Amino acid sequence: MPQSEPLIRFIRTTTADIPADVTLTLNLEQRTRCRLRVLLDDGREAGLFLPRGTILHHGDGLIAEDGLVARIIAAPEHLSRVESADPLLLARACYHLGNRHVPLQIESGRLSYRQDQVLDEMVRGLGLEVRLVDAAFEPESGAYGGQGADHSGHAHEH
């Protein structure tokens, strides 16, 4: 009986721009887990054994016990996207979505959240147009959860 390869164990992260040996595509939920069995994009099995509270972002690196380096790719997700040149309208949408504890990706002139018909209708009721997209989702970590959208920190609380 052939012996299987040992499980690749990723044990730490890096934001340093070092060459990656492989990529790993994960959605937001997977990027918030510190213990997870995954399939690398080349098909090999691996495991995440990261410190509690680690949040992975697109472009981050993972370093395995054996020195293998993987680059994180944020998987596309079904999102609702709102764009407006009116900052007051966007602020109102952020207020109402935030009041419902909806994770938001806030960028200049636009915001995105996981697609939800009820939320889409609420945002349309505020006078904004909602467009459905498939894109990487990198929501704000929150006022108490780290560095926000610049991703220079990895602390995060829910």
- Residues 73-123 pLDDT 10s: 999 999 999 999 999 999 999 999 999 999 999 999 999 999 999 999 999
Model pLDDT, residue 132: 98
The domain locations on the chain are 8-74, 77-135
**Secondary structure (3-state) at 150:** helix
Decide yes or no: CATH 3.60.70.12 for domain 8-74.
no
For residue 22, count CB atoms less than 10 angstroms from its CB and return exposed for 0-12, middle for 13-18, buried for 19 or more: middle
| Rounded CA separation 120/142 (Å) | 22
For domain 77-135, the CATH superfamily is: UreE, C-terminal domain (3.30.70.790)
Confidence of residue 155 (pLDDT cuts 50, 70, 90): very low
Indicate whether 154 pLDDT > 90: no
Cβ 130 vs Cβ 80: under 8 Å: yes
CB of 67 within 8 A of CB of 56? no
Residue given tokens 């806030």 in the structure block = 106
pLDDT band at 6 (very low <50, low <70, confident <90, very high): confident
42-55 average pLDDT score: 95
**Tokens matching residue 17:** 């721009």
pLDDT in tens, 22-46: 999 999 999 999 999 999 999 999 9
pLDDT at 149 over 80: no
